[in-house]
Amino acid sequence: MNQTGCPEVKVPFPVFFTVGIVSLAENLLVVVAVMRSRNLHSPMYCFMCSLAAFNTIASVTKTWENLMIVLADAGHLERRGPPETDLDDVMDSLLCMSFVGSISSFLAIAVDRYITIFHALRYHNIMTMQRTAAILGLIWTSCAVLAVLMVKFFNFKFIMICFIVFFVVSLAAICFLYVYMFMMARIHAKNIAARWGSNMRGALTLTILFGAFVVCWAPFFVHLVIITVCPMNPYCECYRSLFELHVVLMMSHALIDPAIYAFRMAELRHTFRKMLFCSDWKFCL
């Protein structure tokens, strides 16, 4: 119970652990599927593999952090010892990296879908695998640097403002691209039915993925904003009392994405089936 009278909501550790382990297994399955199947060696699936990898980092980070909390409550770890503090900074950096990396991957996927639909004839010249690899290298390097800076200088309001601006601008850019694509789809419905059907289905699937990301990460993001903007406000403190629920929701994003892949994408679903039932010996090695 905090000073506002709002009780802090606690989530049992088995819930954290279960969500973390299941989401870790699911996203590793996506990463391995994209790496092993030649049919999935395309820019869009590479960006989705990157997204799954960032989800994997988030799952591992929060599961490990909650395990440390349980060990600290049991008296096996110091809560504020130097090694524990350093490890906590590392996990916070990895979590920030996962958040920024997920947004960056979604932005890359949105641009890829835009090029696929509106520059279909030039797509393979524009989105080569070499350029895809360069984009992924830039995303991972930038996210790693930004994550370290965010954790290292978290108390500086300028860093938090940059973090908020990055999230809002990226969100607006992704939303604009998808809204524009679907508006053009409605205007040119007949042509799209003949030429762009599969591409628009892919864009719709990725829109669903992005919607799930916003729903799952937004409460946690608002929590970070509140820490900076109104740390002592009674209403803000009541919102902060739901922190563990926000973390579970955030972790659930990594659980939901692979299910959407399997439900909406036939090629991935077919590859998952081969891997899980070993119907193709190459996937069992």
Please report the DSSP string for 10-63 in residue order.
Answer: ---HHHHHHHHHHHHHHHHHHHHHHHH-GGG-SHHHHHHHHHHHHHHHHHHHHH
**What are the residue ranges spanned by the domains of the chain?**
13-277
Model pLDDT for residues 256-271, shown as the tens digit of each residue: 888 887 777 777 878 8
Average pLDDT (73-93) is 72
pLDDT at 140 over 90: yes
So what's the pLDDT on residue 136?
A: 94
User: Of 113, 121, 120, 261, which Cα lies nearest the Cα of 182?
Assistant: 113
pLDDT at 282 over 70: no
Give the residue, 137 or 27, on which the prediction is more confident: 137
CA distance 161 to 225: 9
Give the distance from CA 124 to its chain's centroid.
26
Beta strands in the chain (DSSP E): none
So what's the pLDDT on residue 1?
A: 46
Say if domain 13-277 classifies as CATH 1.20.1070.10.
yes
So what's the pLDDT on residue 206?
A: 75
Average pLDDT (84-107) is 83
| SS3 state at 155 | coil
CA distance 42 to 133: 11
Phi/psi at 71 (5° precision): -65, -35
The pLDDT confidence band at residue 8, using thresholds 50, 70 and 90, is: confident
b (16+ CB within 10 A) / e for 82-93: eeeeeeeeebbb
CA distance 23 to 63: 10
| SS3 state at 3 | coil
Q: Tell me the whole-structure pTM to 2 decimals.
A: 0.80
